[in-house]
């Protein structure tokens, strides 16, 4: 490779050409113009046929031809260059600069650690003048500052070493710099390409090793450089995620269709791995939308596409609002666990259908946020169960439930209290022991407490769940399957689980009087479950007609608004005493 070819290669590896203006470089350029008291200064990079200005003061155009450009001589010789009067210089008196009215030029080379000159830090004037040795030394110092900034961006936090693409920090800085050049906000499209889902990546690393992922990343980086072309940049913004901007004026629907075709080409290399690549397209206002939000909404669109099993997803403000609310709720719920007053338990009674007596109640968690108001448990509980908050939430509920149960028992109310637990709790090796300690601390008999869990929670890790459930049952706790019929609904697994109660989901119970097939199904479920030795509870009972059918089918217990709505502990006390329900536990 010739010296000039090597120099150009070094320039291109730094990924500086045709990038947006940068305040980091502009500060140095302004300093140069002020120190020399000259109207023009520039960071000039010498391409094969042009001088391109990464930063400029007093110049409107972004580049000039390389031919007869003094900065080209600086790059070729790697030496400082001083021209007191271009019109008196035999080489430059007919140059574009001289014809444009430039008379004075001084330039210091921008030299890499390998000795290649990328161009020059230069100052220019419209009058002839001299430059002292001190001034030329200052210009060399400014050139060194420019090179330090280039190396800093490339080597320390701006260029990803795996892909050699600019990273997320550079994406953010470039958007900020592009916005500074605008006179008004401009509508643009941001694209985020997500190569694979986390589970797919984990499996690939487990089977093929991390080098396989690295090679795929390098392959896609090479492909993306070709896709976006020399006038735009692709960015490596996360381990297996890339971002870039569509061309100005792109229309999102049509662009999304073209992007889907592009993703097929990106599959190159190993199509089995990249078959799962998705992309998000997010419109935003350059100069108005924060760069961090641009990445966030593009990422959100890509994840929506993955969940919907589409190749490309368009950003949806409605979906984004839902995602943001979920995040806000989780963050606020974590605080609610630590701050008294927001969380509380309510209790819904359960009655024995043979005697009509209340033999227990279910503890239900409620949340009243100081600004959001009452948050539906149907909204926040599924979110909590998917996070690390599941463990402290169950711990909080159990502690409050045991405290209330102990108070009722001391008051002579022989109730059994049911508490819901999650799939996460069944993976905790110390869960059974913590329940045992709680019972002992509150002076409770184990069979006064009933733990409810769903079918799906049990089957998430059936082996681990069975071991925990056997430990709980072994200490005398009653166990219940909640929402039966909505999960796996396998009678075979019920034979293995040490459960005492099965609760038929409300979706089967409601509308029982209008649907003959549903009635037959519920009747069969009751008979089968009782044959397996389980006590059957019907949830969601709201009318006398439904209750009569359940009694006729021999259902053991019922729970629902007809029996009693969820209520505070003191209200349940009054409800029980009004019905004269202070009876021994069953």
At 110-132, the pLDDT tens digits run: 999 889 999 999 999 999 999 99
pLDDT for the residue 103: 96
Strand order in the sheet with 63-65: 63-65, 50-57, 40-46, 117-125, 104-111, 81-83
Q: Which residues pair with 349 in a beta bridge?
A: 361
At 430-488, the pLDDT tens digits run: 999 999 999 999 999 999 999 998 877 776 666 777 888 999 999 999 999 988 876 55
pLDDT for the residue 1: 62
Contacts of 341 (CB under 8 A, 6+ apart): none
Residue 55 contacts residue 71 (beta carbons within 8 Å): no
Q: How sure is the predictor about 213, in pLDDT bands with cuts at 50, 70 and 90? A: confident
Q: Helix-strand-coil percent breakdown of the chain, rounded to 5?
A: 50, 20, 30
Q: Which residues pair with 42 in a beta bridge?
A: 56, 122
Three-class SS of residue 371? coil
pLDDT for the residue 583: 44
Q: Is 531 buried (19+), middle (13-18) or exposed (0-12) by CB count in 10 A?
A: exposed
Looking at every residue in the chain, the average pLDDT score rounds to 89
Strand order in the sheet with 312-314: 234-238, 241-245, 186-194, 278-286, 312-314
> Which element (helix H / strand E) includes 199?
helix 198-208
The Cα–Cα gap between 336 and 318 comes to 26
pLDDT for the residue 580: 59
At 550-569, the pLDDT tens digits run: 999 999 999 999 999 999 99
The CB density around residue 307, as the number of other CB atoms within 10 Å, is: 12
Q: Which residue has the higher pLDDT, 577 or 245?
A: 245
- At CA 401, angle to CA 399 and CA 407, rounded to 5? 105
The residue-averaged pLDDT of 509-527 equals: 90
Backbone region of residue 15 per phi and psi (left: phi > 0; alpha: psi in -120 to 50; beta: other values) = left
Q: How sure is the predictor about 585, in pLDDT bands with cuts at 50, 70 and 90? A: very low
Instruction: Name the residue among 67, 57, 51, 63 with its Cα closest to residue 124.
Output: 57
DSSP labels, 149-175: HHHHHIIIIIB-TTT-SBBHHHHHHHH
* 204 pLDDT higher than 50: yes
The residue-averaged pLDDT of 234-246 equals: 93
**Phi–psi pair at 147, nearest 5 degrees:** -65, -35
Three-class SS of residue 452? strand
Three-class SS of residue 308? coil
The Cα–Cα gap between 29 and 80 comes to 17
Residue for token pair 């979906």 = 319
The Cα–Cα gap between 391 and 422 comes to 8
Residue 495 contacts residue 466 (beta carbons within 8 Å): no
Structure tokens at 498: 């040490």
At 131-182, the pLDDT tens digits run: 999 999 999 999 999 998 888 776 666 788 888 888 998 899 889 888 988 8
């Amino acid at each position: 490779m010739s010296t000039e070819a090597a120099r150009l290669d070094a320039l291109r590896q730094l990924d500086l050409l045709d990038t947006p203006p940068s305040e980091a470089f502009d500060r140095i350029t302004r300093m140069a113009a002020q120190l020399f008291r000259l109207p023009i200064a520039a960071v000039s990079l010498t391409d094969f046929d042009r001088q391109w200005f990464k930063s400029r003061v007093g110049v409107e155009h972004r580049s000039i031809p390389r031919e007869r450009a003094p900065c080209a001589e600086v790059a070729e010789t790697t030496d400082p260059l001083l021209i007191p009067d271009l019109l008196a210089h035999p080489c430059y008196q007919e140059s574009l600069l001289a014809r444009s009215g430039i008379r004075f030029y001084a330039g210091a080379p921008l030299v890499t650690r390998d000795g290649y000159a990328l161009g020059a830090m230069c100052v220019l004037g419209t009058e002839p003048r001299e430059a002292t040795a001190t001034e030329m030394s200052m210009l060399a110092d400014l050139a060194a500052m420019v090179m330090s900034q280039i190396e800093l961006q490339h080597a320390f936090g701006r260029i990803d070493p795996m892909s050699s693409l600019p990273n997320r920090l550079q994406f953010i800085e470039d958007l900020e710099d592009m916005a500074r050049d605008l006179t008004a906000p401009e509508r643009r499209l941001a694209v985020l390409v997500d190569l694979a889902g986390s589970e797919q990546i984990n499996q690939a690393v487990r089977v093929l090793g991390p080098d396989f992922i690295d090679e795929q990343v390098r392959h896609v980086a090479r492909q993306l450089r070709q896709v976006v072309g020399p006038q735009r940049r692709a960015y490596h913004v996360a381990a297996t995620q890339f971002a870039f901007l569509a061309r100005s004026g792109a229309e999102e629907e049509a662009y999304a269709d073209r992007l889907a075709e592009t993703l097929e080409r990106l599959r190159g290399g190993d199509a089995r791995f990249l078959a799962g690549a998705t992309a998000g397209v997010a419109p935003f206002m350059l100069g108005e939308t924060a760069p961090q939000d641009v990445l966030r909404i593009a990422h959100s669109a890509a994840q929506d596409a993955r969940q919907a099993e589409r190749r490309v997803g368009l950003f949806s403000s409605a979906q984004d609002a839902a995602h943001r609310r979920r995040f806000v709720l989780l963050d606020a719920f974590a605080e609610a666990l630590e701050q008294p007053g927001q969380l509380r338990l309510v209790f819904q009674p359960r009655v024995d259908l043979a005697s009509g007596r209340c033999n227990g109640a279910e503890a239900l968690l409620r949340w009243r946020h100081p600004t959001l108001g009452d948050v539906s448990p149907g909204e926040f509980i599924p979110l909590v169960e998917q996070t690390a908050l599941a463990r402290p939430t169950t711990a909080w509920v159990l502690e409050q439930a045991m405290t209330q149960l102990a108070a009722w028992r001391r008051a002579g109310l022989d109730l059994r209290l049911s508490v819901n637990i999650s799939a996460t709790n069944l993976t905790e090796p110390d869960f059974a022991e913590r329940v045992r300690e709680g019972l002992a601390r509150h002076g409770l008999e184990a069979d006064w407490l009933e733990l409810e869990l769903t079918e799906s929670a049990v089957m998430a890790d059936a082996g681990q769940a069975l071991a925990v459930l056997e430990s709980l049952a072994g200490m005398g706790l009653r166990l219940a399957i909640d929402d039966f019929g909505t999960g796996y609904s396998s009678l075979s697994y019920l034979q293995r689980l040490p459960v005492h109660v099965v609760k038929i989901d409300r979706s089967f119970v409601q509308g029982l009087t209008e649907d003959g097939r549903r009635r037959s199904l519920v009747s069969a479920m009751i008979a089968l479950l009782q044959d397996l030795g389980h006590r059957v509870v019907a949830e969601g009972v709201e009318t006398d007609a439904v209750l009569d059918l359940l009694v006729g089918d021999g259902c053991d217990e019922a729970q629902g608004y007809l029996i009693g709505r969820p209520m505070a502990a003191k209200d349940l006390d009054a409800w029980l005493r009004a019905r004269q329900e202070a009876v021994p536990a069953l």
